[in-house]
Amino acid sequence: DAMVIQNPRYQVTQFGKPVTLSCSQTLNHNVMYWYQQKSSQAPKLLFHYYDKDFNNEADTPDNFQSRRPNTSFCFLDIRSPGLGDAAMYLCATSRPRTGTYYEQYFGPGTRLTVT
């Protein structure tokens, strides 16, 4: 089945220790998104890639970076995690918004704990 996969599902890192979260997709979608979701809150868009073009949200901290080496994979790098970065990180994909229908397909998320 075509899908969005996130690894690992649970990640524990230490305060200040760099961590990388991974997302892959078999949908061959052009656009990949990273969201941060804190407890009892809506998902917050961090950035997205349209093919190789990176689009950062204005309020995304510099501590968060992303890489997309190919169509299938996208990584979220947190350079120096703080306690406030503990959250669920959701990856999503979509086709471009032109056309008759638009939907974002979400992965299961990675729960990040910072100790």
Partner 1 sequence: GEDVEQSLFLSVREGDSSVINCTYTDSSSTYLYWYKQEPGAGLQLLTYIFSNMDMKQDQRLTVLLNKKDKHLSLRIADTQTGDSAIYFCAEFSSNTGKLIFGQGTTLQVKP
Q: Is 107 a binder of partner 1 (CB under 8 A)?
A: yes
Sequence-ordered list of residues with C-beta below 8 angstroms from that of 46, at least 6 positions apart, any chain: 34, 35, 36, 56, 57, 60, 64, 66, 76
Pick between residue 8 and residue 18 the one whose CB is nearest to partner 1: 8
CA dihedral 82, 70, 5, 38 (to 10 degrees): 30
Q: For partner 1, which is the closer residue by CB, 2 or 80?
A: 2
- Asked if 15 is part of the footprint of partner 1 (rule: CB under 8 A), the reply reads no
User: For partner 1, what does the binding mask look like between residues 21 and 50, x meaning CB under 8 A?
Assistant: -------------------xxxx-x-----
Range list of H helices, the chain: none
- Applying CB under 8 A, does 111 fall inside the site for partner 1? yes
Within 10 angstroms of residue 112's Cβ, the number of other Cβ atoms is 21
Which neighbouring-strand residues pair with 73?
24
| Sign of the Cα pseudo-torsion (94, 97, 101, 102, in order) | positive
Determine the interface stretch with partner 1 among 13-21, 58-66, 79-87, 97-105 (rule: CB under 8 A). Answer: 97-105
Is residue 51 part of the contact set for partner 1 (CB under 8 A)?
A: no
Binding footprint of partner 1 on the chain (CB under 8 A): 6, 40-43, 45, 90, 92, 97, 101-109, 111
